[in-house]
A and B are shown apart, each in its own frame.
Chain A
Amino acid sequence: MIQKVLEWLFNNWLSLSAPIIVFIAFIVVSIWSRKRLFSYLERVFSQMGWEERRTFLDKTKTPFLQWCLILGAYISIQLSPLPLNLKAFLGKILSSLFILSLTWTIIVLLERILHIYLKKMDIFPSGTITIIINGLKIAFLVVAILIMLDLWGMPITPLMLMLFIAVFIAIFAARDEIINIFSGLEIARNNLIKTGNYLKLESGEEGYINEITKTNIHIKTPDGKILLIPNSRMLRSVVTIIKKQLKQATQPFRFSARLHLKELTGLKAANVYDLVDMLKKVDDAVIYYHTHNFIEEFQYLTPQPANDFALWVSDALGDQVLSEKLSNIDTFEFSTIGALRERIIDVIQEEIAKRQDINNAPSGREFHFIRSISAVIPTPYVAHDLREFIEILKLVSLDTLYFHIFESRLRLHKGVNDFSIWINDCLGEKDLADEIAVLDPYTYTLEGLRSMIIGIVEKHLEREYAVG
């Protein structure tokens, strides 16, 4: 057998050498032309400023050589003295290899370049981009398989029919999904609805867009619920975009709650002299308790009673004049408990100086000095923008509101409430921060204060972020 082959090669060496020379020439020319062509393309693409040229050139450089070699091999085979049926068979193999290489290259390029471009366009959500690319990849692969089958003489009509039926069934089964995906594409193309928008549908639902997926839009309603609106419904509905995307805070606001426990000091006063003596001795936590206790204990009342000292002087000592003077001390004026304590002592001493007699409280109605023990606990609520801030403010307990408004300002020596600090420092909204900072919280119930702050921020959003 080997001898026969050697004999055949010896007799046909001249007719064999031509195709071999042609193939070698193809290799040399391919390598040379690839170098020149890719240098030229690099230059042209650079001049065009095409950012993705490197990806394109890297991904096509090797396939280009493969295609040249396949072409060389094909021409060489046609020039060779091989039998015709063998030439046809080898030609089909080379054609199939070319189709596979070309399809693979297209798929790789699609994946890389199309992904980058679609993302840059910023009109499709990432889920939709993946679906588009995968759809195109499958389409190219199916076309390549059909061409190859045709090349090898296989009947493709029944296959195409089966494929058509399968695609039809798939489309029918996922028609809602597909409609939503295409609606999503249309919504994205219009570029009007974006995450962070506040919108209202004609059916009445309203809220902020939390997330846009390939099939639906997540709307967070004012009462904290999440509505999933299918893209097709969103496209059909009359939508009013009320507010634009909000400014994001550089640091989120983390809500904490303050709970308190009362600790007895064992100290008590039976008259105003005792009261002054004790006021000088007790620690800040005691003064804080007696000037703030009513805010929490009687948070539902407007107007709230004044501080504990004023109430006791009136109820237990029957001294209405001093009580009125103590009631008139505006706690909001003071940024430290020490200063507030001094003022209370001064008011009592000024009044005592005018008196000749003082009253004693009846037995059992002495003033008991109580210390406030505060426990500060973080809550799960975090706001990244003003809309989230408002939504959370509507939900949190009054202990949370109390902590950030009263406790932080006076007891934790910040001088200003926490909300104003965050709005100014992390959102850069100085005017809004100031508007909340100057609000005298001692003149509201806690619920009233909550409504007031929400109202101020809502108005600000209406002014600054409303569309049109």
Chain B
Amino acid sequence: MPLDKEAIFRTKARLHDYIPIVGRGTIEALYALAERLSGKTVVNVNSTFSGGGVAEILMRMVPLLNQLGVDTRWMVIKGNESFFTVTKKFHNALHGKREDITPEDYALFLEVSNKNMEEMQLTGDILFIHDPQPVVLIKKKGEIGEKWVWRCHIDVSNPDLDVWNFLYQYVVDYDATVFSAPNFARKLPNRQFLIHPSIDPLSDKNKDLPKETIEKVLDKYGLDMEKPIILQVSRFDYLKDPIGVITAFEMVRKNIPCQLVLAGGTATDDPESDKVLEEVKDRASDNPDIHVLLIPPESDIEINALQRAATIVMQKSLKEGFGLTVTEALWKAKPVVASAVGGIQLQVKNKFTGLLCHSIDGAAYALRLLLSNPEYASWLGKNGQEHVRQNFLITRHLKDYLLLFLSLYHYDDVIYL
């Protein structure tokens, strides 16, 4: 299936636009790397053109790689509803959740995968396969392409071993695998690279906003512009510990005037999220300083405005993936209080780019510390912003992908290009 051009051109950012943010040298280096890939075609394969983090990343990366002169394409596999129900089960199982996966499910997965192998007009030199859904395409390795890479966007450190062992037989045939964080990976016999996710500073979710837009959003949700805002942006999920956030806030609110904003949506594939939302609303109903905002999808500007208006951003998750909401907050130079879980630890270096906590009391203490010491909070925020600039923007992601493609053809730890 060819690339959905309308979708791809929705990304209007030009590489030149990133120069004021990351510097000319960074963009020049990208061009220099891309030049070394001249003549190679990179083909990305995943399961959807829209919806989900992978599609969002590819939507931005593919046009930028092409701007750099690397012939980059994007294809998706086809599958019916039953197939995607199975892959959703796989996804949950790889995250360690107990799922009832039957032999028929595995058979269906293989049947659809084989059909895709027959029908897809796969070409290219580097085949970049994203996540488990298209993993079986590796069986085409002998016929198509020079190098095959499996990009695993999910945490497979503690998976359901039945599912993992099933996928393992395909994963090991790839020339290399890529993980988002060291503790998301499993030991594999092939080369494993570490490439963190990124945010796009020019996207609606992260671009600079005029003061009026921010005020309009605060006004819309009835927030007091004079009172410090503590914000957590996340879907309503027990793993994001919204009740813990409220408890910590209440401890702080006793002595320091401030307001709490819990902003997020409910997940359609998670029946628990409505229940969590109700519980949160109940818990917050007596406190006028707690605002529970159900934000519809595609409200990137509103989320951006709330993050920019916040005094402190929290992410008190009990379990977390990479935690891109933390990256977004850091990019906006906000002091962050976050749990030391998942990819958050890569972004928040305790007392350098934010404060890590391990309990509700720890979170409350960190909030009090930051609200009482705005200069220290500001220092952490600025450090956090620089940390993201150096390590978690899309330009770094582009650099890593280019280096990954080049590394597939070199085996030394110092490569002279």
A residues at B contact (CB < 8 Å): 257, 259-264, 266, 268, 283-285, 296-301, 305, 311, 315, 364-366, 368, 370-379, 395-400, 411-412
B22 and chain A: residue at smallest CB distance: A397
| A374 lies within 8 A of B415 (CB) | yes
14 extra interchain contacts, Cβ-Cβ under 8 A, other than A257-B32, A370-B194? Answer: A259-B399, A261-B404, A264-B192, A283-B413, A284-B413, A300-B390, A301-B386, A373-B415, A376-B414, A377-B36, A395-B24, A397-B25, A397-B28, A399-B25
B182 and chain A: residue at smallest CB distance: A368
Interface residues of B in 323-349 (CB under 8 A from A): 340-342, 345, 349
Among A299, A311, A315, A373, point to the contact of B413 (Cβ < 8 A).
A373
Chain B residues closer than 8 Å to A364, beta-carbon distance = 157, 183, 341-342
Interface residues of B in 1-45 (CB under 8 A from A): 23-26, 28-29, 32-33, 36
The interface on chain B, measured as residues whose beta carbon lies within 8 A of the other chain's beta carbons, has a size of 45
| B192 lies within 8 A of A266 (CB) | yes
Chain A residues closer than 8 Å to B414, beta-carbon distance = 373-374, 376, 411-412
| A305 lies within 8 A of B23 (CB) | no
Query: How far apart sit A200 and B390, CA to CA, in the bound complex (Å)?
Result: 37
| B26 lies within 8 A of A397 (CB) | yes
* A–B complex contacts, Cβ < 8 Å, 6 sampled: A263-B193, A285-B413, A311-B349, A373-B403, A398-B25, A400-B25
- B107 contacts chain A at the CB level, 8 A cutoff: no
| A372 lies within 8 A of B23 (CB) | no
- B254 contacts chain A at the CB level, 8 A cutoff: no
Query: How far apart sit A398 and B414, CA to CA, in the bound complex (Å)?
Result: 18
| A365 lies within 8 A of B340 (CB) | yes
Ranked nearest first, the 6 interchain pairs of A and B with the lowest CB-CB distance are A397-B25, A368-B182, A266-B187, A285-B413, A300-B386, A262-B194
Query: How far apart sit A325 and B342, CA to CA, in the bound complex (Å)?
Result: 28
Which of B36, B188, B400, B417 is the most central at the interface, judged by chain A CB atoms within 10 Å of its CB?
B417
Contact A376 B187, CB 8 Å, known A257-B32, A266-B192, A397-B29: no
Chain B residues closer than 8 Å to A373, beta-carbon distance = 403, 407, 413-415
Chain A residues closer than 8 Å to B400, beta-carbon distance = 261
| A266 lies within 8 A of B413 (CB) | no
Contact A379 B192, CB 8 Å, known A297-B391, A300-B386, A373-B413: no
| A298 lies within 8 A of B26 (CB) | no
Question: Separation in Å of the A262 CB from the closest CB of chain B?
Answer: 4
Chain B residues closer than 8 Å to A379, beta-carbon distance = 28, 32
- B151 contacts chain A at the CB level, 8 A cutoff: no
Chain B residues closer than 8 Å to A412, beta-carbon distance = 414
Question: Separation in Å of the A310 CB from the closest CB of chain B?
Answer: 13
Query: How far apart sit A398 and B389, CA to CA, in the bound complex (Å)?
Result: 13
| A396 lies within 8 A of B25 (CB) | yes
B30 and chain A: residue at smallest CB distance: A259
| B415 lies within 8 A of A376 (CB) | yes
- B416 contacts chain A at the CB level, 8 A cutoff: yes
Question: Separation in Å of the A179 CB from the closest CB of chain B?
Answer: 39
A264 and chain B: residue at smallest CB distance: B192
Query: How far apart sit A285 and B342, CA to CA, in the bound complex (Å)?
Result: 25
- B383 contacts chain A at the CB level, 8 A cutoff: yes
Contact A377 B340, CB 8 Å, known A261-B193, A299-B390: no
B382 and chain A: residue at smallest CB distance: A300
Query: How far apart sit A368 and B179, CA to CA, in the bound complex (Å)?
Result: 13
Interface residues of B in 191-211 (CB under 8 A from A): 191-195
- B251 contacts chain A at the CB level, 8 A cutoff: no
- B350 contacts chain A at the CB level, 8 A cutoff: yes
- B60 contacts chain A at the CB level, 8 A cutoff: no
| B341 lies within 8 A of A371 (CB) | no
| A368 lies within 8 A of B183 (CB) | yes
- B84 contacts chain A at the CB level, 8 A cutoff: no
A266 and chain B: residue at smallest CB distance: B187
Query: How far apart sit A264 and B179, CA to CA, in the bound complex (Å)?
Result: 9
| B383 lies within 8 A of A301 (CB) | yes
Query: How far apart sit A386 and B26, CA to CA, in the bound complex (Å)?
Result: 24
| B416 lies within 8 A of A376 (CB) | yes
| A263 lies within 8 A of B416 (CB) | no
Chain B residues closer than 8 Å to A268, beta-carbon distance = 182
Query: How far apart sit A376 and B24, CA to CA, in the bound complex (Å)?
Result: 18
Query: How far apart sit A296 and B352, CA to CA, in the bound complex (Å)?
Result: 15
- B387 contacts chain A at the CB level, 8 A cutoff: yes
B350 and chain A: residue at smallest CB distance: A315
Taken residue by residue from 168 to 198, chain B's Cβ proximity to chain A (1 for < 8 Å, 0 otherwise) reads as 0000000000010011011110011111000
Query: How far apart sit A300 and B387, CA to CA, in the bound complex (Å)?
Result: 8
Among B26, B28, B193, B399, point to the contact of A264 (Cβ < 8 A).
B193
Chain A residues closer than 8 Å to B23, beta-carbon distance = 397
Chain B residues closer than 8 Å to A300, beta-carbon distance = 383, 386-387, 390
Among B24, B179, B345, B415, point to the contact of A365 (Cβ < 8 A).
B345
| B390 lies within 8 A of A296 (CB) | yes
Question: Separation in Å of the B391 CB from the closest CB of chain A?
Answer: 6
Contact A261 B25, CB 8 Å, known A364-B341, A366-B183, A372-B413: no
Query: How far apart sit A395 and B19, CA to CA, in the bound complex (Å)?
Result: 13
| B413 lies within 8 A of A298 (CB) | no
Query: How far apart sit A396 and B29, CA to CA, in the bound complex (Å)?
Result: 10
Query: How far apart sit A198 and B244, CA to CA, in the bound complex (Å)?
Result: 65
- B292 contacts chain A at the CB level, 8 A cutoff: no
